Structure 1
Amino acid sequence: MSLLFKELDYRPTPIGVLSLRRRRELSLDIDVYEIKLDDEYLMSSLFTDAEIALADLGLADLAGDSLDVVVGGLGLGYTAKAALDNPKTGKLTVLDTLPEVIEWHQQGLLPLGEQLSGDRRCELVHADFFGASLSDIAGMNPQRPDTRHDAILLDVDHSPGNVLHDDHKRLYTKDGLQKLATHLVPGGVFALWSTELPEPWFEENLAAAFDDIRAEVITFRHPLIDREDINTVYIARKAS
């Protein structure tokens, strides 16, 4: 059995104090990994259903066996792992604005770190996803600026209406989503995770930028209080 609680790392960053902690959840007999920004929980390994569904749903309707996929937000790595588990994925770029999170994976401090860092298809890149999304450069990966992508999967903000930083708000506008769509190949998919039920204003904005959109409500059990919770995954496909 591991220690009941351990702070694995603690870093001041330009957007707040970032901390990584591991605690033992005795009721479930598991270790739980959590990332906090100041006093706010960003992610927990207790809840991974929607992060996995983001990749599964985002890639489900795409054909081919060598998809070029971008994930915005590395976090604990569950969306990235689900994308790599899909046999259609040929190349995965994971963009994160916090180099500390990338280092945690590369140093093996997180359970999925060695798997993600060791997969030759996967590139962990310190970059601003939102800046790249709104740029005029074709590709999201700064190492491959001329390459458009088959899928872009985003898991950073709590929801389109509840963002971690004001600079993110522009992406969720009609103009921002139209700009993001230019980084996809024809027929490519943008998928987004949200903690909220589908929001009509955001679906309207998606419909202005993409040919086909839908919102999938993901239900899962809260393991500590035996209550059903919900998240949403938006899937938007560019005209082919």
Structure 2
Amino acid sequence: MASKLEILAYEDSPLGTLCLRRRELLKSPGTFVTEVTLNHEFLMSSLYTDSERELARIAIERHGGTDLSVLIGGLGLGYTAQATLASGRVGKVEVAELLPEVIDWMRKGLVPLSEELNADERLQTTPCDVYRRLCGPRESRFDLILIDVDHSPEERLGEQADDFSQMFYTERGLRLAKQHLTPGGMLAVWSYDQSSPFVDALHAVFGEVHVQDVSYQNDLVDERCTDWLFFAR
């Protein structure tokens, strides 16, 4: 039995060929998921989003403030942004997304969370490189900076990962990024792998560091998977 597959968008981007697709799961007839591939390799899915949402929830909880100003690096399918906006303690959210095509998917209603995100007046999307921005002069400060861009600190997205993305995960890059935080502000970073060198760099720059694992059962590959969240203040 073949699954139902719909190509929602297929276009070139600075990182390569992007594909947004919707398909029915063979293992669960009647269940449809939205997926993104980059250069024909799987990138993200609407099926398992626990760690993306936990990145926002835990950061907001650990910060403890109200009327929070939040910068999110990477829009993706919007689950980190949705979880951030779900908190009544958040005043405004800016999402810095490198690929304008991804922002267009949301604005055109092509992703599952489009209607909800487009309707929230607290959300602003900016087409830019979040790493270049955080390694550059400070324009404004944020209570929370949430980064969900790369696969891990050691495995960055796309073959064209530049000096800014590499620098961000170093002690030098983190010191530059820290200048974009308000006093007591928090940096949170998503990764699919644990990274001791990145943890060491965080400890060298921030006074408080917390690492959280988020595990889930991935029925598509029939194994237990774990993502890693890094929090620093």
Q: TM-score, normalised by structure 1?
A: 0.91
Match of 2:219 among 201, 212, 223: 223
Residue 223 of structure 1 and its aligned partner are, at CA, apart by 2.6
CA distances 1:175-205 after superposition (whole Å, capped 9, x unpaired): 00110010000110000000013x2111110
Unaligned runs of 5+ in 2: none
CA distances 1:203-223 after superposition (whole Å, capped 9, x unpaired): 110111111001101111113
CA distance in 2 between partners of 1:14 and 1:136 (Å): 24
* Match of residue 158 from structure 1: 151
Asked whether the 8 Å contact 1:158–1:195 carries over to 2, the reply is yes
CA distance in 2 between partners of 1:60 and 1:92 (Å): 16
After TM superposition, the structure 1 = structure 2 runs for residues 66-77 of structure 1, keeping only pairs within 5 Å, are 66-77=67-78
Asked whether the 8 Å contact 2:138–2:179 carries over to 1, the reply is no
SS in structure 2 at match of 1:69:
strand
Structure 1 residues 225 and 128, CA gap change in structure 2 (3 angstroms): closer
CA distance in 2 between partners of 1:204 and 1:73 (Å): 24
* Match of residue 142 from structure 1: none
CA distance in 2 between partners of 1:151 and 1:133 (Å): 13
After TM superposition, the structure 1 = structure 2 runs for residues 190-229 of structure 1, keeping only pairs within 5 Å, are 190-197=187-194, 199-229=195-225
SS in structure 2 at match of 1:61:
helix
Letter in 1 for 2:200: E
CA distance in 2 between partners of 1:34 and 1:67 (Å): 30
Residue 47 of structure 1 and its aligned partner are, at CA, apart by 1.6
* Match of residue 20 from structure 2: 20
Residue 61 of structure 1 and its aligned partner are, at CA, apart by 1.4
CA distance in 1 between partners of 2:161 and 2:132 (Å): 13
* Match of residue 89 from structure 2: 88
Residue 132 of structure 1 and its aligned partner are, at CA, apart by 0.5
CA distances 1:80-100 after superposition (whole Å, capped 9, x unpaired): 000001111110001101001
Residue 39 of structure 1 and its aligned partner are, at CA, apart by 2.0
* Match of residue 144 from structure 1: none
Asked whether the 8 Å contact 1:160–1:194 carries over to 2, the reply is yes
Equivalent pairs, count: 226
Asked whether the 8 Å contact 2:216–2:226 carries over to 1, the reply is yes
Letter in 1 for 2:230: Y
After TM superposition, the structure 1 = structure 2 runs for residues 1-240 of structure 1, keeping only pairs within 5 Å, are 4-28=4-28, 29-139=30-140, 148-164=141-157, 165-167=160-162, 168-197=165-194, 199-237=195-233
Letter in 2 for 1:96: E
CA distance in 1 between partners of 2:37 and 2:123 (Å): 25
Letter in 2 for 1:193: W
Letter in 2 for 1:194: S
Unaligned runs of 5+ in 1: 140-147
Identity between Structure 1 and Structure 2 (%): 39
Q: TM-score, normalised by structure 2?
A: 0.93
CA distances 1:14-66 after superposition (whole Å, capped 9, x unpaired): 22011101101142231111111112222111220110111011111122321
CA distance in 1 between partners of 2:14 and 2:199 (Å): 32
Letter in 1 for 2:128: A
Asked whether the 8 Å contact 1:24–1:31 carries over to 2, the reply is yes
Asked whether the 8 Å contact 2:14–2:99 carries over to 1, the reply is no
SS in structure 1 at match of 2:220:
coil
